[in-house]
Structure 1
């Protein structure tokens, strides 16, 4: 069973968004999937997200 996805508006600087876009392109992901990936990794490193609760980041939207 896939986790429920929720929409969330994000205010982000142009420079950060451009850097995320380049990184996403390198990893063959959408910007949305890349942001989720980065957030998930940061949460895991801080012990705020259990490793077994993560599902693969799916590229549901074309950004």
Structure 2
């Protein structure tokens, strides 16, 4: 696993409480939940490739070409 960048993050206490509850609902730490939310936002913004795009299903053969 690649090393992760450490940096201080200042948050409004009420926002932290929201994140804390949300992380607990998803059985995550606050830190990992913040990373998850940032990663999802970066994917939606087109700034980070989706991990799903790397794993593509094989295409099914066209039925028309199989019949002919």
Shorter-chain TM-score bucket reads 0.7 to 0.9
What value does the CA root-mean-square deviation take over the aligned residues? Answer: 0.9
Q: Pick the structure with greater CA Rg.
A: 2
Aligned length: 51
| Structure 1: runs of 5 or more not aligned | 53-63
TM-score by length of 2: 0.70
**Over 2 Å off, 4+ runs:** none
| Structure 2: runs of 5 or more not aligned | 52-68
Q: Higher relative contact order by CA 8 Å / sep ≥ 6: 1 or 2?
A: 1
TM-score by length of 1: 0.76
